[in-house]
Every structure is written in C-alpha cells, then in structure tokens.
Structure 1
C-alpha cells in the first residue's frame, strides 16, 4: 500500500499565476426603502382616500336612516288605526261576554264603567278576549 502512495504524483494546491483577485470587503450601503417624504405623501393619500370612504358611508347611512324614519312616520297612523280596531273588537267581545256572565244580575249594564269618572281611560291590553 505504501508503494501505491509513493508512485502517485503529489500536487500541491497553489495560487494561480498572477494571484487571486482582490476580495471585495468594502461596506456596501443599500437603500433601505422609500424616503421620509415619500412615506408621508403615501400616508396622506391613503388617509384621504379612507376619509372620503368614511364620509360617503356616513352620508349613505344617514339617508337610509332618514328613509326608515319617514316610512315609520308614514305608517304610524295605519298602525294606530289597526290598534284602535283591535281594541274596539276586544272591548266588544269583552262586553258580549260580560252580558252573558251578568245576565242574571238585575240592573247591570254591560260596558259601563264601575268607576264614577267621566274621563276616557284606555283599556288595558292584557287579554280582552274571553276563552
């Protein structure tokens, strides 16, 4: 085995003729991003666009709320009339049931207030209908 090692020609690692090129070791300063003025202008543009969207959305929301409020105001008399009709219907049913229940009591007048008051008192909406 030593004979094999002695027969091979050994080559020493040497620099090429003329030498190696210089190693660049100087500091390379790279640009780290946009400048301050660019960032400021970009921020202002984005903020302006955002505020435009906020203002537009607020206007749309205000118009929608106005429309809903006007619809509610327009429908209020209809709902009030429907509630009055339901109250009258319930009072009529209640009076009919009162007549049926109190038919054997002499001098009883159905629908007459048990209180001595001339002022109208709106009936309670608990359950005017009888079972």
Structure 2
C-alpha cells in the first residue's frame, strides 16, 4: 500500500479577522440633489421633444384637413356623376327588358309616375330601385360602406 501524505488546512498567519455582524450600508453614488436634478432634466427634455412632435402632428393634421376640404367638391361631383351614370344604366336596362311590352313607359308604375313632381326636378331613387338590376349583396355592401369609409377621419 502506498503511503499518502496529507496537508492540514490551517488558519492564516496572524489569525482570522474580526467577524462583521452589523449591517454595512453602502455609500450612495449620487446625492439626492443630483438625482432630483437629473430627473428634472430628463423630464423637461422629454416634454420638449414631445411638444415639438405635437406641433408637427398638428401641422400635418391641419394640412390634411385643408386638403380634404379642397378635394371634397371634386369627390362629391364624381359621386354625383357615377350616380347619374348608374341611373342611366338602370333606365337603359329597363327599356331593354320591357321592349316587348307595348305601352310601357320607362320610369313609371303602370303608366303613372310614382312621385308627385310639380317642378319637373330630378327625384332621388330609393335604394331598392337604384340597385334593382344588381345582386342584393351589392346593395348591402354599398349602403353599409359608410361605416367603413369615413371621409373625415
């Protein structure tokens, strides 16, 4: 059997130091005044950055609002033009459907006008008569589209 030599663990020369049994409070890195001034500086800087962004956002909103106001008459005229084109298409289709019925007058109900119109002005059609030659889904899509496409958002 081989002989083994063991080395005993011994205390350092001069012994161990005293045991710290009290709470050691670390020295603060920044004083309260310095912390408050840094907080105030960051807050003021962030307010300044936010305010500049708010001014830009308001300027862009004003520009967009003015652009919408300027373009709105053109959009409205285009809507009216499309409305009249669709009314004309409906009238032409009614003429085509009823061409084999003698005495049929387009735009009347059995020869009588459905609306009393003294001045001879254009009367808006109801949704049902406007979309008479379309699929029912077209009418619901176009009448409900105002909920999805708001011009003034």
TM-score (normalised: structure 2):
0.58
Is the contact made by 1:95 and 1:111 (CA closer than 8 Å) also made in structure 2? Answer: yes
CA displacement, residues 72-123 of structure 1 (integer Å, 9 cap, x when unaligned): 1111111111111111111111111111212233332213475233272245
- The equivalent residue for 1:124 is 127
The question of 1:82 aligning with 2:81 is answered no
Partners of 1:82 and 1:123 in 2: CA distance:
20
Partners of 1:29 and 1:97 in 2: CA distance:
93
Partners of 1:77 and 1:122 in 2: CA distance:
22
TM-score (normalised: structure 1):
0.66
Partners of 1:106 and 1:29 in 2: CA distance:
108
- The equivalent residue for 1:115 is 114
The question of 1:104 aligning with 2:100 is answered yes
User: Looking at both structures, which has the greater relative contact order when contacts are Cα pairs under 8 Å and sequence separation is at least 6?
Assistant: 1
The secondary structure found in structure 2 opposite 1:105 is coil
Q: Unaligned stretches of 5+ in structure 2?
A: 1-12, 136-153
| Greater Rg over alpha carbons, structure | 1
The secondary structure found in structure 2 opposite 1:33 is coil
The alignment yields a C-alpha RMSD, in angstroms, of 3.2
- The equivalent residue for 2:150 is none
Partners of 1:86 and 1:129 in 2: CA distance:
16
Q: Unaligned stretches of 5+ in structure 1?
A: 1-14
The secondary structure found in structure 2 opposite 1:66 is helix
